Amino acid sequence: MLTTSVAASQESVANWRVRAFDAAAIAFRYRPFLKAIAAAEFPDQLQSRVDDSDLVQETLLKATQNIDQFRGTTEEELESWLRESLLNQVRDCVRFHGRQQRDVALEIAIPQSQVRCPDPSASEQLRRTESQERIWKIVSELPEDYRTVILLRQQMDLTFVEIAEQMQRSPDAVRMLWGRAIVVLGEKLKSPG
């Protein structure tokens, strides 16, 4: 009976981790966090060669592919795991570019105003617009508390403490509400529609 209870408890924890750390939810939630770290940690002299957003994207891709290797159970542990993964990406990039023959310090960055990026195709623009519209349509259909916490966190970029004050809840309650809202949003995004 005790082994059945332990096995059920372990399965429950594993299911919680899969729901709480869904790939779409991780990317949606942690991109700004990782972007800020990349901007602070990435050497200025390499920014003309590599965009730190690429490192963030690569980190999120690897994290979602290797989420089964994450052994933590809290948001703080997930943040630490993602941060370390990003810092490994930065170190690898610095090592790679440090082996190059050219002196990175002598390179001249071209001002953005002189760089002509190809405009996204009409179909790509339409796909992006449709994707954003679908996300906000789904958010608008969520229960009021879920909708509120997502909008305050994503649109207004408020901290959990600030959201807690506005929603008259504790910061921990808001974190849990946020986690549940993101899980529901991720599930609805996976369904065809």
Judge if 131 and 49 occupy the same domain: no
Judge if 101 and 143 occupy the same domain: no
Locus of tokens 């449709």: 130
pLDDT, averaged per 10 consecutive residues of the chain (193 residues), comes to 48 47 70 82 74 82 79 83 87 74 56 60 69 82 90 84 92 89 84 69
Rounded percentage of the chain residues whose pLDDT exceeds 70:
70
4 is in which domain, residue-wise?
A: 1-117
Judge if 31 and 94 occupy the same domain: yes
Give the pLDDT confidence score for residue 20 in this predicted structure.
47
The pTM score is: 0.42
Judge if 108 and 164 occupy the same domain: no
Q: Domain boundary at 99, 117, 135, which?
A: 117
Judge if 32 and 19 occupy the same domain: yes
Neighbours of 102 (CB within 10 A): 9
pLDDT digits (tens, 9 = 90+) for 92-112: 888 877 665 455 555 566 565
Judge if 155 and 101 occupy the same domain: no
Give the pLDDT confidence score for residue 143 in this predicted structure.
92
Judge if 142 and 157 occupy the same domain: yes
Total domain count, the chain: 2
